[in-house]
Amino acid sequence: MQHNAPFPKCLKLALPLYKKLKVTFLAQPRKFTSKELEEYNGKNGKPAYIAYQGKVYDVSQSDLWRDGEHMGMHQAGKDLTEELELAPHREEVFEKAKLIGELV
């Protein structure tokens, strides 16, 4: 089906700019197995990823996760759902972390 309506002037003006922009498409969330998650333990320059309630977060940039360890109590590269049941905080702490995938 073809539209015969004229191309809006405001879009004609923006078209050259739009063509220069790099467009990023959101991909499907990456799926991690427990074994794959273990590789991201924050040791030897590797990123520090943790899982909580089926979601995988990158905590590499957090000062609280130096070398893949949090407060001497938690290690990156693991599903921390059960461990965090005893923690003084809940999922609100992940609002500052980057969600990167899901645990399958």
Cα–Cα nearest to 65, from 98, 100, 101, 25:
98
What is the SS3 assignment for 17? helix
Full-model pTM = 0.71
Architecture of the domain defined by 28-103: Roll (3.10)
pLDDT in tens, 3-51: 555 656 665 666 666 566 655 555 678 999 999 999 999 999 999 999 9
- Measure the CA–CA gap between 97 and 104, rounded to whole angstroms: 20
